[in-house]
Structure 1
Amino acid sequence: MAILGVGIDVCDLDRFAASLSRTPGLVERLFVGDEVGRPVASLAARFAAKEALAKALGAPVGLAWHDAEVVSESTGRPRFVLRGTVAASAQQLGVVSVHLSLSHDAGVASAMVVLEG
């Protein structure tokens, strides 16, 4: 398999928390399913993951936030569930596998995505 894309993103936790407080409904616009209701650090990491995924895909226009959901396996390992606009972009690139790593510490959340095809 070949690497088709790599994306990384970071999110300042205080700034992200302020955005959530300032903008009613932002959580519902950005997140779906079990993502909703998570602590701020976890939400920030998932936001960074969605941004990193968009970068790895080449930042195509028209991706919907709800079309990339970060879920946790029983082991705690994060992975994406892709649908709609995001799944179509991944398919167009020939993506077979999406690797995701999340972290949050020292006031920053980060995510890295690697796409294989």
Structure 2
Amino acid sequence: MDVAIPEGVTKVKVSIKKDWNVAYIDDVVFYSMASGVKNPSIKNLKVNSNASGLIINSSSVLDVVRVFDISGKIIKSIQCDGLQQIEIPLNNVTSGLFLIEVADVHGNIDRVKQLVK
């Protein structure tokens, strides 16, 4: 017996039961785990830091930029209003490693780790 496993499935559970000397497959369960969701990348995305904050450039039209600290707390959330370049001031933020999430108007999302001094 051949069973086709759908793409993205990482675990399959098959139950075999026996009644009255006949074995049969009863439950076939497919599990899909979103362990590596793939979103298309934003074209030519560049994230740089300077003394006053972050500069984000892209050839795509940007929608929103979010800056998270290492614990996952949102530090800044900026609506980009259709810009391709945006500067995010981080003057009052202590230095450290941050996760920058950038979304464009087409729903593409990129996440970048950035060290801010």
Fold shared, TM-score > 0.5 on shorter chain: no
- Higher Rg of the two aligned structures: 2
More helix by share: 1
More strand by share: 2
User: Given the two structures, how large is their TM-score scaled by the length of structure 1?
Assistant: 0.31
Identify which of structures 1 and 2 has the higher relative contact order when contacts are C-alpha pairs closer than 8 Å and 6+ apart. 1
